[in-house]
Amino acid sequence: MEFTAQQIAELLNGKVEGNPNAVVSTFSKIEEGKPGSLCFLANPKYTNYIYETQASVVLVNEDFEAQKPIKATLIRVEDAYRAIAILLDIYNKMTDKPKGIEKQSFVHKSAVLGKNIYVGAFAYIGKDVKIGNNVQIYPQVYIGNNVTIGDNCIIYPGVKIYYNTKIGNNCIIHSGTVIGADGFGFAPNDGEAFLKIAQIGNVVIEDNVELGALVTVDRATMGSTIIREGVKLDNHNHVAHNVEIGKNTVIAAQTGIAGTSKIGQNCMFGGQVGIGPHITIANGTKLSSKSGLSNNVLKEDSLLMGAPAFDIRAYHRAYIHFKNLDDIVKRIDSIENKLNEK
């Protein structure tokens, strides 16, 4: 479909600067802009491309100041990054979505399915499952007994959802993710084989959660492993038994969270972060990539780095000394040798 710059501006409460009748039918990156496409500029790092791009329309922030002539039509908005997210979501919703239940799938007779459902080939839906309206379940998805899934969810191919899992509305679960597998619970046995501790709890995922590909969320030993509303987990994350992740927390790839840890709201973790067991992390905490946390974080909005993690400003100061450690040791050795000669 085609839209004019003016139509897009009205949708975003933006202001057109240039040709309001410029037409676009697709999206592009600003550095790869082509005629008929729309792109955006939010990161100053890419500012030089706006003077060269062949895109027909560019979204920019209200305070953007051009230093040279620009060929493209601009749409000034409050937040270009948020504006492009809105447009991409609208575009995605306009694309055709599969519907109906394909013949090769299995749906237990006791399962209750809502309206406008899609169930792909070789998907399995178990006993007493309840699925809301407008849910898409792609091929080779397994949904165990007594699972509940809310409205407007998308479950991509190969997802495995164990029994008793509760999933809210507007959730997206990407391919290969496993929800509700046993937590890692084993008891020592006087030198014999470890005794497995039965994991009899479940997983609860609230509304508007998105789990990337190959995420694993373990069921609780007792009670629930809980992922609160608005949480976003990148690919290859592991959430252990009885963990609770607070509202609107985002976690980058390859992070591991050990059992029974409690993570607050609005936290942000970089990639490859490690969280130890039984740890409490305050609201708004930010952990830099590769950080390792073994103690509670009690101060809200802390910014930490390192393994073990500590205040990022102190880390940067310490790192300066670490880089010079070899020279420092040589200087100390030299001083000691001179003292010993006396």
Cα–Cα distance for residue pair 21/207, rounded to 1 Å: 39
Indicate if 238 belongs to the active site: no
Cα–Cα distance for residue pair 120/140, rounded to 1 Å: 7
Residue 270's alpha-carbon distances to 113, 286, 288, 292, 311, in angstroms, are 38, 8, 5, 11, 15
From 314, 278, 319, 320, select the one nearest 295 (Cα to Cα). 278
Give the CB-side neighbour count of residue 121, counting CA atoms within 13 A. 2
Residue 200, amino acid: I
Residue partners of 320: CB distance under 8 A and separation at least 6: none
What's the CA dihedral at 219, 300, 252, 135 to 10 degrees? 50
Catalytic residue, from 238, 241, 278, 316: name it: 241
The residue assigned the tokens 């067991």 is 277
Q: What is the helix (H) or strand (E) element at residue 180, kind and residue range?
A: strand 178-181
Cα–Cα distance for residue pair 166/180, rounded to 1 Å: 10
Asked if 271 and 292 count as a contact pair (C-beta separation under 8 A), the reply is no
From 189, 190, 129, select the one nearest 155 (Cα to Cα). 129
Residues with catalytic roles: 241
